[in-house]
Amino acid sequence: MRTRVALVAAAIALAGLTGCSDQDASTTTADVAARRSATALQAQLVRVIDKVGPSVVELRCGNALGSGIVFDDRGDVVTNAHVVGGAPSCTVRLSGGDTHPARVVGRDTGHDVAVVQLSGATPSPATFGATGNLRVGKVVLAMGNPLGLSSSVTQGIISSLNRNVAESSDVHLSALIQTSAAINPGNSGGALVDLSGQVVGIPTLTATDPEFGGAPANGIGFAIPSDVVQSVASSLIRSG
């Protein structure tokens, strides 16, 4: 009888050990899969930044500081009209640090889009994606020169689509992309990029909180959709 009890106890103990082993193996597999997924995302973010970074430039137009995106292989750079303001020309600093003069080709204040043309350099243009492919929740990167910090990148998601926002008392922008990627002064005119490395919009402004004296509302930024940017920029290049 003692022998039988001992054998039963040993079998139960062995079964318990076996169960723990299976659970540990399952947990380990899940951990490994999570690490691989995180590593893959990190690698993709680096690839996107390496791909798009050289096409994002810094603009100084009079006293205004902003960003721009190389639009084509002729040296045309697209940015915000409020970055260009009334200046006839700008200074453009490329991602590598070289600076070049640029003339203002044209501006459309109603859509807050402008084009300047570089002189002495034709950096590689960015690839623009279609706005129709956007979905709330997609991961995006905001690339530009916030506060003059060249080639800065922030990450977020697309928070909403088709937002209508008053940029000023005279300019009301429609169908904007809302994003949680941080947008700070100097980001205007830069690139909002998806994980395939396509520009899906141009960061333009950040929401402000009237209860705190008009301070920026963190995580609520807006960008002009790439479809609008491409259409207006192409028109400005053709006709000024």
Query: Could you read off the pLDDT of 180-222 as tens digits, one per residue?
Result: 999 999 999 999 999 999 999 999 999 887 776 777 788 999 9
Shared-domain flag, residues 142 and 177 = yes
pTM (2 decimals)?
Answer: 0.85
CATH of the domain at 112: 2.40.10.10
Q: Which residue has the higher pLDDT, 116 or 3?
A: 116
Active site residues: 82, 112, 188
Q: Is residue 12 part of a domain?
A: no
- How many domains does one find in the chain? 2
Q: Where residue 35 falls among pLDDT bands split at 50, 70, 90?
A: confident
Q: Give the domain extent around 217.
A: 128-230
3-state secondary structure the chain: CHHHHHHHHHHHHHHHHHHHHHHHHHHHHHHHHHHHHHHHHHHHHHHHHHHHHHHEEEEEECCEEEEEEECCCCCEEEECHHHHCCCCEEEEECCCCCEEEEEEEEEECCCCEEEEEECCCCCCCCCECCHHHCCCCCEEEEEECHHHCCCEEEEEEEEEEEEEEECCCCCEEEEEEEECCCCCCCCCCCEEEECCCCEEEEEEEEEEEHHHCCEEEEEEEEEEEHHHHHHHHHHHHHHC
| Mean pLDDT value across residues 107-129 | 96
Q: Is residue 103 part of a domain?
A: yes
Shared-domain flag, residues 132 and 225 = yes
Q: Is residue 17 part of a domain?
A: no
Q: Is residue 42 part of a domain?
A: no
Shared-domain flag, residues 116 and 147 = no
Q: Is residue 24 part of a domain?
A: no
* Domain end residue (candidates: 83, 103, 124): 124
Shared-domain flag, residues 115 and 142 = no
| Mean pLDDT value across residues 160-177 | 90
